[in-house]
Structure 1
Amino acid sequence: MASCISPKGGEMIMRQLPAIGGHVLTRVWVFVVIIAIWEVAARIIGQFYFPPLSKIAAAAVKMWFSGDLSTVWLSSTVATEIVPSLIRLAAGFAIAAAVGIILGFAIGRSKVLADYVDLIVHVMRSVPPVALVPIFMLLFGLGTQMRVLLIAFTSVWPILLNTIDGAREVEPTYLDTARVFGISRSRRLRSVILPSCLTRIFDGLRISSALALVVMVVSEMFAATNGIGYSLVYAQQSFRYNDMWAYVILLGILGWLLNLLLRIPERVLLRWQPQND
């Protein structure tokens, strides 16, 4: 029995480990070098509007991690400024994903429907998000509803267009084979069309997540009373530049986390595809 076990798989993994470790180490070193350059450059320039990262980190700790054990050391600012933004972002992005995927399938698989809505879709997606803020304020007021709907409306287009393209690009041979075997329309959708579209859908979701984050910040800069965008502008107007930069870096981290979270279901659902990263 032991003679049937091949060591090739184990040897291949062992050969890949140094390359993987070196790749991770390179990323870490690049990150460390960028931090060092920022710190040194900020101290050389000596301008209050471009503070060193050490001062930004101290401001972030003071703002967000000055609580006690009962709040897991999180301060009240997290609950009043960051959590509302995350709720708006999640709600708007969820609406955009649901609407974009459902409509994308419908338009992509129906030439008649596509002929009617194609021009409308391309005109609407071309409108800059910032130009829509006054319109949404008039239609939905200044509350959370306006911000959630604005996020949903402006971030739906990459999901919608990528889903449409994915639904149109399904290999006809696969559908013909499914029909020959008598597979029902609903099962063809689940077993043939949807798997073929997943790569395109996840591409759209990643683009939309970044767009949703941008629109969330922009919407909170107008007539808001809380949120990351509001806090960022308030810190800038109050000349608290350490706090302002802390919020900017926080937004970058949130964008990275969103992309990371989307990669988890993508790798599970598309595990049959080779990974490029």
Structure 2
Amino acid sequence: MRTLTRQVLFAAGLPVVLLGLWWVASDGSTDPFWPPLRTILRTFPSVWTGERLRTDLLPSVLRLACGYTLAGVVGVGLGTVIGSHRGVRAFCEPVLEFLRAVPPPVLVPVIMLFAGIGDTMKTVVIASGCVWPILLNTVEGVRAVDPVMLETARSYHVRGVGRLRHLVLRAASPQIVAGLRQALSVGIILMVISEMFAANNGIGFTVVQFQRSFAVPGMWTGILLLGLLGFLLSLAFQFAERRVLGWYHGLRASTRRP
């Protein structure tokens, strides 16, 4: 518990310093588009009340969770198949490289044509961007499984689901988790972008509405909320990573000891 508290305080140190610099730099500002931080913080509680948290923050988080989960299932599943078979990898690689090079925000108008402007569109947009870091890291993680371990498993007749679960996915899990970490930040960005295109709620929609009505302090509160959301999700991910990859971090720590 003490270690976790120390990590949280260490992670919060730089944001606190940056907020302090922002406070000093914006103090006394008369620019309508650059209000003092104290004004933004004073506006924050009145904007993000319980009602707005329910109608805007909660839908955004649910869309992010659905798109991120869908990307995780598809990315890990396809990545395991592609990484396990050289022929499949050679066949799919050109198409994967082509699709990976297409920026997901460009696909928003296309996805709107097929999925409409509801939550399905936003979930698909988030998943379409999150899937690539997960997929590619899974492929590389599966490819990097030690051949000696694979041969040992074959010798002991460890096959099928047991081989996949206890050897392949376990050995590839550090890179899979790295892909999931990268996808989380991508998902937050795409969540906001999808809500700015066509929506009637969500954080991105609210920020745009404040901007269009020249409620600049309210707009800045939305940006602060997004930063806070990303920070909290990052902390939660680090906690889950420590639990899932405890064996991996323990192994690395043991190898560093003299």
Q: TM (normalized to structure 2)?
A: 0.89
More relative contact order, 1 or 2 (CA 8 Å, 6+ apart): 2
Post-superposition CA distance 1:226-272 (Å, at most 9, x none): 11111001111111111111111111121122222222232112112
Aligned residues: 249
Which position in structure 1 is the counterpart of 2:256?
Answer: none
1-side partners of 2:13 and 2:195: how far apart? 35
Is the 8 Å Cα contact of residues 202 and 262 (structure 1) preserved in structure 2? Answer: no
1:116-265 map, 5 Å: 116-265=91-240
Does 1:45 find its partner at 2:29?
A: yes
> Is there any run of 5+ residues in structure 1 with no aligned partner, and where?
1-15, 66-73
SS of alignment partner, residue 27 of structure 2: helix
Does 1:58 find its partner at 2:42?
A: yes
Is the 8 Å Cα contact of residues 75 and 135 (structure 2) preserved in structure 1? Answer: yes
Change (3 A) 1:181 1:128: same
Which position in structure 1 is the counterpart of 2:18?
Answer: 34
Displacement, 1:208?
0.6
Post-superposition CA distance 1:94-133 (Å, at most 9, x none): 1000000000000000112112211111111111122111
Which position in structure 1 is the counterpart of 2:245?
Answer: 270
RMSD: 2.1
> Is there any run of 5+ residues in structure 2 with no aligned partner, and where?
253-258
Task: Among all aligned residue pairs of Structure 1 and Structure 2, give the percentage whose two residues are the same amino acid.
Answer: 38
Q: TM (normalized to structure 1)?
A: 0.84
The higher radius of gyration belongs to: 1
SS of alignment partner, residue 127 of structure 1: coil
Does 1:104 find its partner at 2:79?
A: yes
